[in-house]
Structure 1
Amino acid sequence: MSFKGGARGDEERGRGGGVSVVPLVNVIPMETIEKYHYFFPRLLFFGLGWGDLVCALRSMKTSAQHDWDDWHHQFTKLARSYEAAGVEAEARGKRATARAWLTKASVCYHFAEFAYFDNPAEKIRTQGEVARVFELARPHLTWSVEAMRIPHGAQELPAYLHRAGDGRRPCVILVSGPGFAKEVEMHTFAQAFVERGVSALVFDGPGQGVLAGTVPMALDFERVVGDVLGALHRHEAIDRDRIGIFGVTYGGYMAARAAAFHPREIKACVCVSGTHDVDNFPSMHVNVRKDFMYVFGMSNEDEMCRVAQSRMNLRDVPGITAPLLAVHGKEDRIFPYDSCLRLMSWAKGEKELIGYDGEGQAAINCFTDALPRLSDWMAEKLA
């Protein structure tokens, strides 16, 4: 975790009396930046610093293709360093430091595995590390985060209720897309809602978080949300008449779908890079296709394509009547802007679209603008 060997460029005297600068050791090689730069905004927005990227990526092996084995190794190594430091800080009674380093460790474990499909068993093990270390950090968080288990058929879904304060509060259900973690990206989203007086429920449904790779994602995800709603209705800290839903990427599609099937219970919906359909599955990036196959438990890409194009759409779903806010990058190559426009045409109630020129998936470079806007919007709808 520490920088060594003149990270800032040690100076030494040259023979002629001038000052020469020792070359920087702690830098990310340009070929590594060129290969992985697409992911940097996401990593930086959701909990890592530039120094973390340098520590993890400065020793990456050089290769013509992405080396996700080495990526996983480097970020796991950084995660273990932060975890050990956090545990030591906790033992010394340094709660703020323990919180900072343990949450950072959880983030590092997540980004070690989020795009790692070459070793499914190791990916699943690392997903578990994300949750395990977050549990170490949870007692030190600055707001109340209550662990829950939500009954869903024969299963129990792990969840956290981020509480915005005392008394009955409005609540937003957060639905993650493939490759997201309730302890990382969804934790950041939850914080934005809590700061505005709205509690937030994050959870791992089938195919999400710690259940990804072991329990296939549900095509009829509205049934999962139905059980989540039931748990919130039974909770003494939730105003059951003021519940909204939020989803990101494919989670945006699932959130809109759930809101359409639960029109009386869900009062507002936000979709970030959501979609009306997944008809473009064959043209998606190979890692995105792998992610869908992983969370749906399919080993045959042709079968995944058939399911994506025939069943993962809103064509036969009644249009959502709750207020809808969509946030979308106009250059999104995973769920193109046209698919968002189809989502907006499908919606039957009040609707608003924030489109960002030049932005790709999730409009991540504009999140400092989008996140306050969408969380304010949700707080107003649930007021």
Structure 2
Amino acid sequence: MNPTAFAAAQWTRATGAGVDPHEYQRITHGLRSVADWGPAFLRVGRSHLQHAEEAGSVRSAGEYLLLAARWFHLATLAPYAEAHQAAAEADHALSRALTLLEPDARRVSGDGFTGWRRGPSDAPGTVIVVPGLDSAKEEFLDLASALLARGLSVFAMDGPGQGVLAATTTLAADYERVVGRAIDALGATRVGLVGLSLGGYLAARAAALEPRVAAVATVSGPFRLDWDELPQPVRGIMARRAGGADAAREFAQHVDLTALAPRIAAPLLVVDGLQDVIPGVTNGESLARLAPHGTYLSVPHGDHLLGNARPHWLPQVSDHLTHTLMGTPA
């Protein structure tokens, strides 16, 4: 893929993650190959680190660090030698930002997961944000902000093969065990899950098999994957995250919610963007229909992760989780 086409394919994902669209266009227009993607985005992230050092207030420094975290994460979307370094820099920038901006935020890590618990310790519910195949806790900061604004606490995590853990772990089919260990570490009593892209499958699976999940939402999540139907770029990413092509194929064979959907006892909201071009991730209606308490939200103009349609799903997902965990009327 040429760099122009690659940048266009990532456009709504990047802007949905919260980077400035003008800066994104300025940087990507100067790329001569996809191989230049990672180094260019690393440079932008490091420029924001410098802005943070020169900022005139703690608030400004923290905001620059959040920008840096976003750019460092986006640097990992194209394959190149320093991708794990970029993930580590994203993790470090987010840690510095939350230390400055939210003194009560705390790092929580365990076997197969790491992330940040944010929000009031006495919140009526905690939402675990589950990332996807090549996403990470740094990508969905606006979703976390929407949930925090509604009075919930949020645990944005990296699991096996995700984010900063991609350097040392591989994708886990039994993600419900990871979620269970995270719930134990958080000490949370009312827990919701929101999963995005492959994280939608992982969250739905966890909700079916972990009885402490009280609310769940999926965004652009696959109901079932067929390895032979997946585009080559997606296969390549899955191979890198799973530990090889054979492991990726085996992992993809596990991605099927047909038998698990009826076991999801928690209220479930399933969101699809009908302009999504990845095979397997516009069939969420089946998940919503088979789940005992499923609701389906279809956004006709939404693409993958619906970065081009945020007003048409983000408030609904946030309200669904809030109303369910707080026990208030929708």
Same fold (TM over 0.5): yes
TM-score normalised per structure 2: 0.91
Contact map agreement 2:108 2:186 (CA 8 A) in 1: no
Contact map agreement 2:229 2:279 (CA 8 A) in 1: no
Determine which of 241, 258, 277 is the counterpart of 1:295.
241
Matched, 1:145 2:115: no
Matched, 1:50 2:21: yes
State how far apart, in whole Å, the 1-side matches of 2:312 and 2:97 are: 28
1:190-209 aligned within 5 A: 190-209=144-163
Amino acid at match of 1:277: R
Determine which of 58, 79, 82 is the counterpart of 2:48.
82
Query: Is there any run of 5+ residues in structure 2 with no aligned partner, and where?
Result: none
Alpha-carbon distance, 1:171 to partner: 0.8
Alpha-carbon distance, 1:368 to partner: 2.3
- The structure whose RCO (Cα within 8 Å, separation 6+) is larger is 2
Contact map agreement 1:83 1:101 (CA 8 A) in 2: yes
1:62-77 aligned within 5 A: 67-77=33-43
2:309 paired residue number: 366
1:323 paired residue number: 267
1:268-279 aligned within 5 A: 268-279=215-226
Q: Deviations over 1:194-238 (max 9, x none)?
A: 0001111112211111111420111111111111111122xxxx4
Matched, 1:131 2:91: yes
| Segment drifting more, 193-202 vs 44-53 | 44-53
TM-score normalised per structure 1: 0.79
Q: Deviations over 1:56-104 (max 9, x none)?
A: 224211xxxxx32211121111111111121222xxx521221221111
Q: Deviations over 1:299-349 (max 9, x none)?
A: x3x55335413x2222443531211100101232224465312222331x2
Amino acid at match of 1:293: A
Alpha-carbon distance, 1:180 to partner: 1.2
Amino acid at match of 1:370: W
Amino acid at match of 1:136: R
Contact map agreement 2:126 2:192 (CA 8 A) in 1: yes
Q: Deviations over 1:82-129 (max 9, x none)?
A: 11121222xxx521221221111111111111x22243xx11111101
Query: Is there any run of 5+ residues in structure 1 with no aligned partner, and where?
Result: 1-30, 62-66
Q: Deviations over 1:168-198 (max 9, x none)?
A: 431111111012121x223222111100011
What is the identity percentage for the equivalent residue pairs of Structure 1 and Structure 2? 29
Seen in structure 2, the aligned counterparts of structure 1 residues 380 and 53 have a Cα distance that, compared at 3 Å, is: same
Contact map agreement 1:143 1:162 (CA 8 A) in 2: no
Contact map agreement 2:65 2:96 (CA 8 A) in 1: yes
How many residue pairs were aligned? Answer: 324
Amino acid at match of 2:200: G
Seen in structure 2, the aligned counterparts of structure 1 residues 335 and 162 have a Cα distance that, compared at 3 Å, is: farther
Amino acid at match of 1:324: L
Contact map agreement 1:213 1:294 (CA 8 A) in 2: no
Seen in structure 2, the aligned counterparts of structure 1 residues 305 and 255 have a Cα distance that, compared at 3 Å, is: same
1:217-296 aligned within 5 A: 217-233=171-187, 238=188, 240=189, 242-263=190-211, 265-279=212-226, 281-296=227-242
State how far apart, in whole Å, the 2-side matches of 1:81 and 1:166 are: 34
1:100 paired residue number: 63
Seen in structure 2, the aligned counterparts of structure 1 residues 136 and 308 have a Cα distance that, compared at 3 Å, is: same
Cα RMSD (Å)? 2.1
Contact map agreement 2:15 2:307 (CA 8 A) in 1: no
Asked which structure has the greater CA Rg, the reply is 1
Matched residue SS, 1:174: strand
State how far apart, in whole Å, the 2-side matches of 1:274 and 1:352 are: 14
